[in-house]
Structure 1
Amino acid sequence: MTVSPAPTRPTAPGFALLGTVQIVLISGITVVSVALPAIQDELRIGGGDLALVSTAYGLAFSGLLLLGGRLADLYGRRRVFMLGLGLFGISSAAAALAPGLTPLLAARFAQGVGAALAAPSAMALLSVLFPDPHRRARATAVWGGLAGIGATGGMLLSGVFAEWASWRWAFGVPVIATAVAIVAAPRLLPADRPVRRARVDILGATLVTAGLSTLSYGLVESSSGPLVGGAALLLAFIVVESRMAAPLVPPAFFAAPRRAVALAAIVLGSAGMATSFFFLSIHLQRVRGLSPLLTSAAFLPYGAVLIGTGAAAGWLLGRFGVRIVLTTGLVTASAGLALVGRFDGALVAGVLVLPLGIGLTFAGATVAAVADVPDEQAGLAGGVVNTAMEIGPSLGLAVLVSLATSQAGDMTSGHGFALGVAAVASILMAPIAALLPRTSRQETPLDKRHPTRRRTS
């Protein structure tokens, strides 16, 4: 006699809600990219201040992600998720209405704070929505590709509003999306209790937030002072955490080689994606003479491939396993970077191959990074993965733009050289990923775990 399982809450609507929020949060990084000249003209600000408009969101976002993830573990994932969404929505409205530079910078920074609370909480809620580890692994694989979709979507929105309306309308989309999400979340997301009560590691949180923010600022501005200061703060954070009874980030969290390689792959993938966006945007407007709108439209195929790869990621993971998906992604991303770096007739092929590789890399690496994480550290894991996703663009732009400008010759050849270096880094990571030991059931293809498994209604 077969006992029917108890009815459960439908997971598809909840996952759709969380995924949409993740896309909107990531799009906040790039949503002003194409519109920066319009912002500069309207607010009459200089180039340095304009750079702060672009980076204020990312500095707060990347610096506070670890704390946001830990708060989700300690005080409830849905609760922190909705708190972060509320702050993100309110600050998005403030950015749209900002009368000058200072209010706009404050709003952008507050957006980043809200995103740092919501993003790791959203990822941690996957374990509540999908208690079955196999379904959770497939959902996590799809989740890994959402960052690329969000970054591409932000570029598209930026170009559309810069061309046809006002840059201020670009902040209206997050306001609407967060309002809908806050209303729907109590109905679609299961309430979870805090995993365990503990005191927040205030000293560790302060050190890592200040260290990551300072380091990111130094990378963006190519300034040695913030770089040294950020590195010193992070070193102090490591020393403090090793002596704390309840650290913000337990040192053992990074002990698994699989997790370290997965996080490195996420950094490489996000660095390659952000740098290719940056170089392509410049090339299409300055060399090919495209308008902001057409420049944004040129990324439509990129976004379409990311969406298709994300939709297939769960099936690919179940069919081939994490190692093959991750290794294939790194190799394909390397080929895409090399093709884009040619800036000739191969550019079209590169714009299609690169997002395929990036999508597979993010899918495989995200699953590998969170595999075997204890439930009480799910929020922390989400914070760490998102931190790697945010550090990558700052690191990639700082290193690769410097390499590009150091080369003799025209701008295009320098950009091509820098993307070639990124392609080499990606291909060198591929054999390391291929040789990782398989230590988790989530990393084994489903077909090998259940050779006779069949779909049931």
Structure 2
Amino acid sequence: MTTTSVAATPTTRAAVPAPAPTRTDGILAIILVGYFMVILDNSIVITGLPHLQAELGMSAAGLAWVQDAYLLAFGGLLLLGARAGDVLGRRRMFAVGLALFTLASVAVGLAPTGGTVVAARALQGVGAAVLAPSTLALLTASFPEGPERTRATAAYGAVAGIGASVGLVVGGLLADLVSWRAGFLVNLPVGVVMLVAGMKVLPETPRTPGRFDVAGALLATLGPAALVYGFVRAGTAGWADGGTLAALGLGAALLAALVAVERRAAQPVLPLGLFASRERVGAYAARLLFIGAMMGFFLFTSQYLQDERGFSALAAGVAYFPMTAVNFVVALAVPRLQRRASGPALLVAGLVLAVGGMAWLGAVDAGTSYAVGIALPMALIGAGQGLAFGPLTASGIAGVDRSQAGAASGVVNSVHQLGGALGMSLVLALTGTYAAAMTAGALLLLAALAAAVTLVLPAARRDARS
């Protein structure tokens, strides 16, 4: 906490009032809690999915949509949400996003049917797409360059790192002791308190005149959604099914339309110039594939541990600890490792470890022990994730002009969310058993490794020599 000091003059020696604290700690706390809610709800449902399925009678494809609906709305509308903050004010959009996210959370918690859960999760994603970019922009506006900004961004990064893991444990705990619904209903009191505090404490940012590329944002959402529907349908109806082919064709057509619209847009939500760099394209592709494999890993591992191994929802959440702990330790070591090796080299090393861990899980059978056959490969995956994520993010914004820094960061985050939805639905469509799902995940990671080796690494080496 920073303070302002007042010095007494030598002649008066008057008592000096105690320094008045600034509101920066309160601002940071509100920003972090808001962001934590978004990250937490990415994973809090995963360990509770078997309970949700049993209560509402949902199919495996329906369960995938519980997560996909959130990720698609979040990732597809994220860039539009960021632009809304620029044009309308970040504090205002923080409040709008938080209110929408909170109300949608209540709708999920009270949902009487699986379809209602999916619809409410999509609404949650819309709220997250408005809320998440506002939190980072408010942090940047509230903390000047220097030690204060460093402290704030470190805390923000820590929330991103631990939020998903905490969600797995908290989701399992609440599902076992109360209900899977409790993980969403708890957002109501937290959201109300944060909304009131935010309107009192958070500063408003200047508004920037601009246009909303609504057509681009809708196409960026509907295109991946059609592909996800095609993948999910293929898992039940087959790849030759007319509905499957129609959905996949529609998804491809919508993405082609997105490119055409963005070429003509005055202020595109997705600047196509960002794809002129081989390093950035490789980073986007590797991130999409990596996150897709990881979302499939989380979903299938949670179900496998509970359905096949008899773990409780809480125990399934705790079972991820080897991965979480190793991930945290390795991520902290990345800045020191980059003194000896480049970021892209660490990215490649991380992906190699992740491929090995996921392939190892693909050999799981009924006689495999948790300690050797599950915990150890999880630790490998955690080490790979810890090595890869920082360099992957850096390559995703490498060489970007300052005027497009916000758009580049938005693309990285959108790819992150959309990759989770696409990858998870593809793994679901291609597999029937846990071992097969992990093998499919290993193939996605292998493709991510190929993108890193052929695009990211050579481009970074060329830039280093020039």
Q: Does 2:363 match 1:342? A: yes
Change (3 A) 1:379 1:229: same
Match of 2:283 among 259, 262, 273: 262
The match for 1:360 among 374, 378, 387 is: 387
The aligned counterpart of 2:98 is 85
**Distance between the aligned counterparts of 1:142 and 1:261, measured in 2?**
28
SS of 1:35 mapped into structure 2:
helix
Query: Which amino acid in the other structure matches residue 425 of structure 1?
Result: A
Deviation at 1:297, TM superposition (A): 1.8
What SS does structure 2 have at the residue aligned with 1:167?
coil
Partner of 2:457: 434
Count of residues in correspondence between the two structures: 430
Query: How many percent identity over aligned positions?
Result: 37
CA distance in 1, matches of 2:224, 2:76: 5
Over the aligned positions, Cα root-mean-square deviation in angstroms equals 3.7
Residue 111 (structure 1) shift: 0.9
Deviation string 1:151-184 (CA, Å, 9 cap, x unpaired) is 3333222221221111111113433443454345
Looking at structure 2, the residues matched to 107 and 351 of structure 1 have their Cα atoms a distance apart, in angstroms, of: 32
Partner of 1:62: 75
Trace 1:234-253 onto structure 2 (pairs within 5 A). Answer: 234-253=255-274
* In 1, Cα distance between equivalents of 2:66 and 2:214: 28
- The letter of the residue matching 2:230 is G
Superposition deviation, residue 323 in structure 1: 3.0
**Structure 2 residue 253 is matched with structure 1 residue 232:** yes
Counting only pairs closer than 5 Å after superposition, residues 70-219 of structure 1 correspond to structure 2 as 70-101=83-114, 103-125=116-138, 127-128=140-141, 132=145, 149-185=162-198, 191-194=204-207, 196-219=208-231
Q: Which stretches in structure 2 are left out of the alignment for 5+ residues?
A: 1-20, 235-243
1:33 aligns with 2:60: no
Per-residue CA deviation, residues 16-66 of structure 1 (Å, 9 max, x unaligned), is 654543343133233222323433444455666555444332232222122
Amino acid paired to 1:366: T
Q: Per-residue CA shift, 1:309-352, capped at 9, x if unaligned?
A: 45555665688653344333323323332333333424222111
The match for 2:18 is none
Alignment TM-score, normalising by the size of structure 2: 0.78
Normalising by structure 1, report the TM-score.
0.79
Q: Which residue of 2 aligns with 1:420?
A: 442
CA distance in 2 between partners of 1:366 and 1:285 (Å): 33
Q: Distance in 2 between matches of 1:415 and 1:424?
A: 14
Residues 183 and 86 of structure 1, relative CA distance in 2, 3 Å threshold: same
Give distance in 2, aligned partners of 1:316 and 1:10. Answer: 36
Counterpart residue type for residue 383 of structure 1: G
Change (3 A) 1:282 1:167: closer
| CA contact 2:72–2:221 (8 Å) conserved in 1 | no
Q: Does structure 2 retain, via aligned residues, the 8 Å contact 1:120–1:380? A: no
CA contact (8 A) 1:330 1:426 kept: yes
2:80–2:217 CA contact under 8 A, matched in 1: yes
CA distance in 2, matches of 1:427, 1:123: 30
**Contact between 2:271 and 2:407, CA under 8 Å: does it hold in 1?**
no
Inter-partner Cα distance in structure 2 for 1:128 and 1:321: 31
Structure ID, larger Rg:
2
Cα separation, partners in 2 of 1:191 and 1:120, compared to 1, 3 Å:
same
Matched, 1:385 2:397: no
Q: What's 1:3 paired with?
A: none
- Output one character per residue of 1:47-87: Cα deviation in whole Å (capped at 9) or x when no partner: 66555444332232222122212223333334323321221
5+ unaligned residues in a row in structure 1: which ranges?
Answer: 1-7, 406-410, 445-457
SS at match of 1:436: helix
The offset of 1:113, in angstroms, is: 0.7
Q: 1:271 Cα deviation (Å)?
A: 1.7
Distance 1:371 1:126 in 2: 22
